[in-house]
């Protein structure tokens, strides 16, 4: 279907068609394009631009197109440049002459911006919902972990023991911020561009507020130029997904380390591990590595779009078509990763003995010794120096720390007891800290937060359990 027969001759060069056709990927917008077209038709009817009968036949044709797309009987043809052309071509074939009225007062510029906002709204909810599923796995594993502990690290050096549950929930809270950001992005993009036309609105009595309401948007655009030129919501979506990807990458990196022979803190379930084509003994953490690897791609998509946007004069420019593939790909890839990591974490076997052995080194209690001295009245700097000196002596003279502590006049037996395996972690009692009582409270707070986020997602229209394929371009 050619959209500009009047002005230009028929013969679009083959190369032009090849470089500009987008239906191969924007077909995922079909559901949103039909929703947008339905609202537009209703708006045309309400304003008296088309008759009630014309509204009915256009809506019936749009329903038929939706059904044909769902059945797979309607497929893009050679002349269908994009999803908008495909839908309009088929509506015109089904509805006859009235089909020619569908595009009245509308441009593909406000149409595509509308479609994309609708797509983002439903797809970001799916991402948020997949993220909540992963958080749920972390919560379950954190609860099960009970009193198990491992070394907490700074600078990748053992620092202080922490409960395994505390460590797992650290990732959970990062994901909670991701969910919050995704929902906030959805709230911000909740503005309808429909009625902005090509760039300036219309001479016809269109009602952008009405169509915004039909589409479930909270508001209509304030400025028609901005409405068709704005892709902030795509950039935000790509940022949210990229930062979520960064969190998943850090989790992946950790599993790569922890499942290595050097750490040996966990064993991968066979179903979530891969083998080597050459080395028979290998069991590789490819899922965790892909979580790390895909993150580069997600960051690249965000950067790419920002660069695309930075030089664009107002209002619509065809460059904006380049927003879609990165967006669709980022959403699909992050959803695949979230689901694979959820399975990986659900099935990991923890090596509690290895973790505890690594955490039980006496220097993990060094700050507890210093804090004991503080409780007994010594200024912290002095206590820090005193304990640091004892640790240094223990290392230099190869004398067990516990012996030096026992024989020290300011420390003695009570202090030596702090070095017992499993004791230091119990002393992290402050709110949000790594010890058992604080973590028990944290588990409750985290669980409540998940319930709140599930409700927020449901209130925005769901997203749970949707297959990833729905957000992947075919």
Binding site for ligand ARG (CB under 6 A): 22, 82, 108-109, 112, 316, 318, 320-321
Residues 6+ apart with CB under 8 A from 361: 151, 158
Q: What would the two tokens of residue 124 be?
A: 């970001």
Between 114 and 394, name the residue whose CB sits nearer to ligand ARG: 114
Distance, CA of 348 to CA of 343 (rounded, Å): 9
Q: In whole angstroms, how far apart are CA 44 and each of 100, 205, 228? A: 13, 8, 20
In the annotation, is 155 catalytic?
A: yes
Distance, CA of 178 to CA of 471 (rounded, Å): 19
Q: How many CB atoms lie within 10 A of CB 414?
A: 11
Between 248 and 305, name the residue whose CB sits nearer to ligand ARG: 305
Q: Which of 20, 218, 276, 407 is catalytic?
A: 276
**Contact yes or no for 24/324 (Cβ under 8 A):** no
**Contact yes or no for 219/191 (Cβ under 8 A):** yes
Between 269 and 319, name the residue whose CB sits nearer to ligand ARG: 319
Q: Tell me phi and psi for residue 114, to 5 degrees.
A: -65, -50
**Contact yes or no for 146/165 (Cβ under 8 A):** yes
In the complex, minimum distance from the CB of residue 193 to ligand ARG, in angstroms, rounded to a whole number: 12
Between 319 and 451, name the residue whose CB sits nearer to ligand ARG: 319
N residues, the chain: 474
In the complex, minimum distance from the CB of residue 215 to ligand ARG, in angstroms, rounded to a whole number: 18
Between 119 and 350, name the residue whose CB sits nearer to ligand ARG: 119
In the complex, minimum distance from the CB of residue 188 to ligand ARG, in angstroms, rounded to a whole number: 21
Distance, CA of 18 to CA of 81 (rounded, Å): 9
For residue 327, how far is the Cα from the chain centroid? 12
In the complex, minimum distance from the CB of residue 153 to ligand ARG, in angstroms, rounded to a whole number: 47
Between 108 and 301, name the residue whose CB sits nearer to ligand ARG: 108
In the complex, minimum distance from the CB of residue 337 to ligand ARG, in angstroms, rounded to a whole number: 26
Q: How many CB atoms lie within 10 A of CB 356?
A: 19
In the annotation, is 408 catalytic?
A: no
In the complex, minimum distance from the CB of residue 81 to ligand ARG, in angstroms, rounded to a whole number: 7
Q: What would the two tokens of residue 51 be?
A: 């008759």
Distance, CA of 413 to CA of 416 (rounded, Å): 5
**Contact yes or no for 288/259 (Cβ under 8 A):** yes
In the complex, minimum distance from the CB of residue 261 to ligand ARG, in angstroms, rounded to a whole number: 50
Distance, CA of 230 to CA of 325 (rounded, Å): 17
Q: Which of 40, 155, 352, 407 is catalytic?
A: 155
Closest C-alpha to 293, from 258, 340, 346, 236: 340
Between 98 and 320, name the residue whose CB sits nearer to ligand ARG: 320
End-to-end alpha carbon distance in the chain: 22
Q: What would the two tokens of residue 192 be?
A: 């309808």
Residues forming the active site: 155, 276
């Amino acid at each position: 279907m050619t959209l500009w027969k009047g002005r230009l001759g028929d013969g679009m060069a083959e190369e032009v068609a090849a470089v500009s056709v987008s239906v191969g990927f924007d077909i995922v917008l079909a559901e949103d394009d039909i929703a947008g077209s339905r609202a537009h038709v209703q708006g045309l009817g309400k304003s008296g631009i088309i008759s009630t009968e014309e509204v009915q036949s256009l809506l019936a044709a749009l329903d038929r197109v939706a059904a044909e797309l769902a059945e797979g009987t309607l497929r893009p043809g050679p002349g269908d440049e994009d999803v908008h052309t495909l839908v309009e071509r088929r509506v015109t074939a089904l509805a006859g002459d009235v089909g020619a009225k569908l595009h009245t007062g509308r441009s593909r510029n406000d149409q595509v911006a509308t479609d994309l906002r609708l797509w983002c709204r439903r797809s970001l909810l799916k991402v948020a919902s997949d993220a909540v599923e992963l958080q749920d796995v972390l919560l379950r594993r954190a609860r099960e972990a009970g009193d198990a502990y491992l070394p907490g690290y700074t600078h990748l050096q053992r620092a202080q023991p922490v409960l395994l549950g505390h460590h797992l929930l650290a990732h959970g809270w990062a994901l909670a911020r991701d969910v919050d950001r995704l929902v906030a992005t959805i709230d911000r993009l909740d503005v309808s561009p429909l009625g902005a036309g090509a760039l300036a609105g219309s001479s016809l009595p269109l009602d952008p507020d009405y169509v915004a309401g039909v589409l479930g948007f909270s508001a209509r655009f304030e400025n028609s130029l901005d409405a068709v030129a704005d892709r902030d919501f795509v950039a935000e979506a790509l940022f949210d997904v990229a930062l979520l990807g960064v969190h998943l990458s850090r989790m992946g990196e950790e599993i790569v380390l922890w499942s290595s022979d050097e750490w040996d803190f966990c064993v991968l379930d066979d179903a979530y591990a891969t083998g080597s084509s050459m080395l028979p003994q290998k069991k590789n953490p490819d899922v965790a590595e892909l979580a790390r690897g895909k993150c580069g791609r997600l960051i690249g998509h965000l950067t790419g779009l920002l660069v695309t946007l930075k030089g664009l004069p107002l209002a619509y420019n065809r460059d904006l078509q380049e927003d879609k593939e990165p967006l669709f790909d980022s959403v699909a890839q992050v959803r695949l990763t979230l689901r694979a990591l959820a399975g990986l974490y659900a099935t990991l076997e923890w090596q509690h003995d290895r973790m505890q052995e690594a955490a039980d080194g006496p220097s993990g209690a060094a700050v507890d010794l210093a804090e004991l001295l503080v409780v007994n009245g010594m200024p912290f700097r002095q206590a820090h120096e005193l304990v640091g000196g004892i640790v240094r002596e223990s290392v230099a003279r190869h004398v067990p720390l516990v012996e030096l502590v026992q024989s020290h006049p300011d420390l003695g037996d009570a202090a030596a007891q702090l070095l017992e395996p499993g004791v230091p972690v119990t002393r992290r009692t402050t709110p949000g800290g790594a010890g058992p009582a604080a973590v028990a409270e944290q588990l409750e707070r985290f669980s409540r937060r998940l319930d709140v986020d599930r409700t927020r997602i449901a209130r925005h229209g769901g997203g749970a359990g949707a297959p990833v394929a729905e957000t992947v371009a075919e």
